[in-house]
Amino acid sequence: MKHATVIVVGAGQSGLAMSRALSRRSIDHVVLERGTAGQSWRSERWDSLRLLTPNWANGLPGAPYNGLDPDGFMASGEMANQLFHYAETIAAPILCNCRVSRCSFDGTRYRVDTSRATFTAEVVVIASGAAGKPHVPAISGAVPGGILQITPDHYRRPADLPDGKVLVVGAAATGVQLARELHLSGRPVTLSVGSHVRLPRTYRGKDIEHWLDITGVLDQSTGEIDDVERARRIPAPQLVGGGAIDLNSLQDIGVEIVGRFSDVRDGKALFSGGLAHVTTAADLKMNRTLDLADDWVKENGLGSADAAVRPGATSIPRDPRLTLDLEAEKVRTILWATGFRPDFSWLDLPVFDLRGRLRHEGGVCGLPGLYVLGLPFLRRRRSHQISGAEADSTELAHHVAHYLDARRAA
Amino acid sequence: MTIEIQTPQKNGVNVQAILEARTALTEAPEAGKFIWRASCEWLDGVHSRSTIESFYGLGEEQKHDRVFTIDADHPPQFAAPDNGATPVEIVLGALASCLMAGLASVAENRGIELTSAKATVEGDMDLAGILGIDADVRNGFKSIRVHFDIDADASAEDIAALVAQSQKRSAVFDVITNPGNVHVTVG
């Protein structure tokens, strides 16, 4: 049995940022990592993936981006390498190839079972990521056999899929990107679209990330918005690193757009008739976000900003189809781009709500000494982004230090 | 000393009660499981009367303050005496009413005062379906159009957002746009 004052689970941007914050406070800790630093960027992303945020926005605590291409978009392997080097730079005490299988609490200490050793700790920081397991709707069970069903963490490139038609389910960043890639590979794509977030890659000559950053949207805290739970479930906007993509451009290349995938009956996929509603709502929300950029330009008199050209409204077929006979129309693959959930199956702790979601207040969980990092809107809108790691880890490290002080004084 | 600030309702929707119910039902999800009911009796020809009184919710049997009835029949064009709206028109009315209730509630929650709101609903139907003339034509509406005319103390964008949100939270909009299983038994 080994002991560490603090155990950090996961060596991605959140875990490493926390490690640095703890080191600066001279708090003894170890970072447990199932692979090497940045593992999921290395092993669970498709080949063509580039980050959704430009390089300038992907600095790590104490290490802002200083490369030659601040406006470029890193490939996922480059991000993994950046994290690997960052871990060396900050001399993070990482135990690699160490998979955590269980974490329990005896009322005084945490016990962390891993593939390499069992640890005890006073504090556990969960930094294992927001996208540990793909979420697939239950209707997947009603899909006829013989159709390949795949999730984005297992998808690498179009050639891995059978030739023939693909139904891509979900129109967040992943769904629209893979719909395009697959359609351009010669596999006709039908894209099922539920509630989504639309944003243009650039606006007034600047990347959208610039506007979200400078207008303060990304720094909005949980206290500043009405419904945190809803904000935590907002899907990734329809963006691609280094280009433009939206439902209009997908339809221009021949992707068919249908409503939300509601059910399977008699081998037929049934789609919601509410497509116009979700596209209209997304256009409205996009324009509200862009209004913030316009307001900022008005207030700050930025003469150099390009004219405000809004993307056109999303056009959809007059009568989008409501059914797709999966066998008769030779659908070979269904790609479930229906989101990810964190994988907390190893947490043997009473810290979940009725729906199985981890309860926390800004990353502080319901058990003393238990913290979580890197989840959507954990403390602020940018919490799950790379740029969110610094502020969240600094603030939570402060909390950890106080907790440990109080514990020792007691 | 405590000062209570009463905010007057702009549209007559008790949003506070709805928000409190939302909090309560988040903690006690079983109470949120409702069963709605209508019973329908054949009167004569294609004339029938639905009666609506009881429902189940908040963990127990509930009752409306009084019994409501809805007559359905068909117009003379269908060789019927027109004792009531057709069932499909009642569906259109139900959709509009549901969206309207959502509109008023969302407006209330956002502090927007409605001066007037009117929805016009149209549904396209080809009788070749229900008459069995063409198996490729569905019985029900091929498409439905809802048009809102709204006068309120808000911008056009804010009004559009109200309409969008009312669809997002509408039970009848969901019933119509998404499939659901219907189990019919007899005897």
To test the contact with chain A by mutation, choose from B30, B139, B178 the residue with the greatest count of A C-beta atoms within 10 A, namely B178
Region of poorest pLDDT, from A326-335, A353-362, B3-12, B16-25:
B3-12
Strand boundaries in B37-154, DSSP class E: 39-44, 47-57, 60-72, 114-124, 143-152
B167·A270 Cβ contact <8 A: no
Same domain, B121 and B48: no
Same domain, A269 and A346: no
Domain of A216 in residue numbering reads as 135-336
The span from the first CA to the last CA of chain B, in angstroms, equals 65
Same domain, B49 and B107: no
CA atoms of A20 and A33, how far apart (whole Å) = 15
Q: How many structural domains are present in chain A?
A: 2
Of A303, A336, A369, at which residue does a domain stop? Answer: A336
Same domain, A91 and A213: no
Same domain, A245 and A256: yes
Same domain, B76 and B125: no
For residue B173, the distance in angstroms to the closest alpha carbon of chain A comes to 8
Domain of B160 in residue numbering reads as 86-177
Residues of A in contact with B160 (CB under 8 A): 280, 284
B142, B160, B178 ranked by CB distance to A262: nearest: B178
Tens digit of each residue's pLDDT, chain A (410 residues): 899 999 999 999 999 999 999 999 999 999 999 999 999 898 889 999 999 999 999 999 999 998 999 999 999 999 999 999 999 999 999 999 999 999 999 999 999 999 999 999 999 999 999 999 999 999 999 999 999 999 999 999 999 999 999 999 999 999 999 999 999 999 999 999 999 999 999 999 999 999 999 999 999 999 999 889 889 999 999 999 989 999 999 999 999 999 999 999 999 999 999 999 999 999 999 999 999 999 999 998 776 567 789 999 999 998 899 999 999 999 999 999 999 999 999 999 999 998 899 999 999 999 999 999 999 999 999 999 999 999 999 999 999 999 999 999 98
Same domain, B78 and B119: no
Residues of B in contact with A273 (CB under 8 A): 143, 176-178
The whole-number pLDDT of residue A151 equals: 97
Same domain, B62 and B137: no
Average pLDDT over residues B45-57: 97
Q: What is the ipTM of this complex?
A: 0.81
Q: How many structural domains are present in chain B?
A: 2
Give residue-wise pLDDT tens across range B66-124.
999 999 999 999 999 999 999 999 999 999 999 999 999 999 999 999 999 999 999 99
Same domain, B16 and B69: yes
Of B39, B65, B85, at which residue does a domain stop? Answer: B85
Same domain, A21 and A32: yes
The secondary structure of chain B in percent helix, strand, coil, rounded to multiples of 5, reads 35, 30, 40
Same domain, A217 and A330: yes
A284·B161 Cβ contact <8 A: yes
- Examine residue B168 and state whether it is found in any structural domain, yes or no: yes
Residues A323, A167 contacting (CB under 8 angstroms): no
**What angle (nearest 5°) sits at the alpha carbon of residue A321, between those of residues A316 and A325?**
145
For residue A282, the distance in angstroms to the closest alpha carbon of chain B comes to 9
Same domain, B58 and B122: no
- CATH number for the domain spanning A43: value is 3.50.50.60
Whether B145 has a pLDDT exceeding 80, the answer reads yes
pLDDT grade for B1, boundaries at 50, 70 and 90: very low
For residue B45, the distance in angstroms to the closest alpha carbon of chain A comes to 33
Same domain, A102 and A204: no
The whole-number pLDDT of residue A245 equals: 97
**Residue A368, token pair as written in the block:** 């003393």
Same domain, A359 and A313: no
Same domain, A123 and A143: no
Residues of B in contact with A265 (CB under 8 A): 179
Q: B60-72 and A261-265 as β-strands: parallel, antiparallel, unpaired? A: unpaired
Average pLDDT over residues B163-183: 94
The whole-number pLDDT of residue B5 equals: 52
A284·B160 Cβ contact <8 A: yes
Same domain, A111 and A49: yes
| Coil, helix or strand at residue B95 | helix
The whole-number pLDDT of residue A409 equals: 92
- The pTM score is 0.91
Residues B69, B147 contacting (CB under 8 angstroms): no
- Residue among A91, A18, A123, A7 at smallest CA distance from A61: A18
Of B56, B85, B114, at which residue does a domain stop? Answer: B85
- CATH number for the domain spanning B56: value is 3.30.300.20
Of B50, B85, B120, at which residue does a domain stop? Answer: B85
Residues of B in contact with A262 (CB under 8 A): 178-179
**Does any CB of chain B come closer than 8 Å to the CB of residue A77?**
no
- Examine residue B34 and state whether it is found in any structural domain, yes or no: yes
